[in-house]
Amino acid sequence: MTVFRAKGTFARVDGRRAPFASTPAGVDAQAVRAAVEAVRDPDLGRPLGELDAVDEVEVRRGGRVRVRLSTSTSDAPPELVAAVRAAAEAAGASRVKVEATPMTPRRRAELAERLAAGAPPRGVGGPAPRVYAVASGKGGVGKSTVTANLATALAASGQRVGLIDADVWGYSVPQLFGVRRQPVVLGEKMQPVRAHGVALMSTGFFVDEDDPVVWRGPMLHKALQQFVTDVAWGPLDVLLVDLPPGTGDATLSVLELLPDAALLAVTTPQAAARVVARRVVRMATESGAPLAGVVENMAGTVCASCGGTTAVFGSGGGELLADEAGTALLGRVPLDVPLREAGDRGVPVVLDAPDAASARELTRLAATLPAPRRSLVGRALPLTVCAPRP
């Protein structure tokens, strides 16, 4: 029997301490451990080896393997257990038993310190992330679907992406990403929930699916503030914020908490949606937030049989809104069956059906998003006072 423990570089073979070697069954304990340590924790988004979560890998006769883990949650996520089992089997194990126990409070505290030490302070260690606040004048225009797919497409391109679901009352990010677990808390920071390569935070992770969120303005602002400051986002390239429809407290709070955010306005071709969306654009202009552009969603319905497009909601609304706002029409996303089916399944369409018309346009849109440019008018600028030369 070969036992590969967390510490040291020796195995225990037939009761004797010896350097590592493959077992008679041909299973290399060191290779199995390396494969298991490379598995990413779905809650923390880090490899298990980096989290020091693999306590023991034991190779038994016949290629059977037992893996002991320490997890940051009370119950090991089923997808983590499945991934560990698959990794061990790919490394040669015939059968794999995974045993998971919660980390002790001391280990959790040590892990929190290590993760905090590895993350650069805000504004240090690289450029600040590009921030896009995705807004709409009214509900039902597909704003959240656009946001979720942009985030996923950006992550698929290799960028580090975070998404804040600021639509506190009408949250939909948990459904669109197919996740319902609560965030892990390490130290004084919440860890974002991760799905499809995107770091997520939503009130939907804290309440039951059917429970209404009945919050007034101060509670809303506090929740959004915690999503920005009390979540261990780590280094990000892009942060997307899914705003609630309209120009209420949540939108004002986000623009206050994230002063570098650029507004991305989502509308439909319908005249009524464009007229209402103008209010959001005007609010952004008056608050000094730059406009990243306009996205026209539901720009025609694609027939599943013939592939033809029908302008169910009219045409031209997005272009008119962009012209009135003095910004660009970035894209026109059609409505098709794969887009609806992907949302119901909890997998963004850019991953679920990448060849669909909607997925192709959303992927193109993500690749061409303009970098936010905020005016310096009215903002405090850092000054450095240099001593005069002698």
DSSP code string of 332-378: EEEE-HHHHHHHHHTS-HHHH-TTSHHHHHHHHHHHTPPPP----TT
Question: Same domain, yes or no, for 147 and 95?
Answer: no
Write out pLDDT tens, residues 45-67: 889 998 999 999 999 988 999 99
Interatomic CA distance for residues 257 and 259, integer angstroms? 6
In a domain, 151, yes or no: yes
In a domain, 348, yes or no: yes
Instruction: Answer with the one of 90, 116, 142 that is the final residue of a domain.
Output: 116
Question: Same domain, yes or no, for 51 and 188?
Answer: no
Question: Same domain, yes or no, for 201 and 278?
Answer: yes
Helix/strand/coil for 232? coil
Which residues of the chain have a pLDDT value below 70?
A: 1-25, 117-127, 211-217, 374-390
Question: Same domain, yes or no, for 111 and 249?
Answer: no
Torsions phi, psi for 184 (to 5 deg) = -80, 135
- Cα 38 from chain centre: 20
In a domain, 12, yes or no: yes
In a domain, 35, yes or no: yes
Handedness of CA 248, 130, 118, 45 (dihedral sign): positive
Residue found under tokens 């952004």: 284
Written as six digits, the tokens of 41 are: 């924790």
Question: Same domain, yes or no, for 204 and 291?
Answer: yes
Predicted local distance difference test score (pLDDT) of residue 120: 46
Residue 177 CB coordination number (10 Å): 24
Write out pLDDT tens, residues 105-120: 888 888 888 777 655 4
Pairing of strands 193-195, 198-202: antiparallel
CA angle 60, 75, 65 (to 5 degrees): 10
Handedness of CA 274, 280, 281, 286 (dihedral sign): positive
Question: Same domain, yes or no, for 197 and 84?
Answer: no
Question: Same domain, yes or no, for 181 and 315?
Answer: yes
- Cα 361 from chain centre: 20
Question: Same domain, yes or no, for 104 and 144?
Answer: no
In a domain, 278, yes or no: yes
Written as six digits, the tokens of 191 are: 């860890």
Question: Same domain, yes or no, for 175 and 322?
Answer: yes
- Cα 157 from chain centre: 13
- Cα 82 from chain centre: 21
Interatomic CA distance for residues 135 and 248, integer angstroms? 11
Predicted local distance difference test score (pLDDT) of residue 332: 94
Predicted local distance difference test score (pLDDT) of residue 128: 82
In a domain, 297, yes or no: yes
Residue numbers of the domain that contains 19: 2-116
Residue 311 sits in a domain whose CATH number is 3.40.50.300
DSSP code string of 268-290: -SSHHHHHHHHHHHHHHHHHTPP
**Total count of domains within the chain:** 2
Residue 207 CB coordination number (10 Å): 14
Question: Same domain, yes or no, for 47 and 172?
Answer: no
Question: Same domain, yes or no, for 150 and 99?
Answer: no
In a domain, 310, yes or no: yes
Predicted local distance difference test score (pLDDT) of residue 6: 41
Residue found under tokens 């669109």: 176
Question: Same domain, yes or no, for 64 and 42?
Answer: yes
Predicted local distance difference test score (pLDDT) of residue 346: 94
In a domain, 13, yes or no: yes
Helix/strand/coil for 65? strand
Residue 92 sits in a domain whose CATH number is 3.30.300.130
Cα–Cα distances in angstroms (integers) from residue 282 to residues 241, 301, 329, in the given order: 19, 29, 16
Predicted local distance difference test score (pLDDT) of residue 296: 94
Check: CB of residue 112 under 8 Å from CB of residue 226.
no
Residue 353 CB coordination number (10 Å): 19
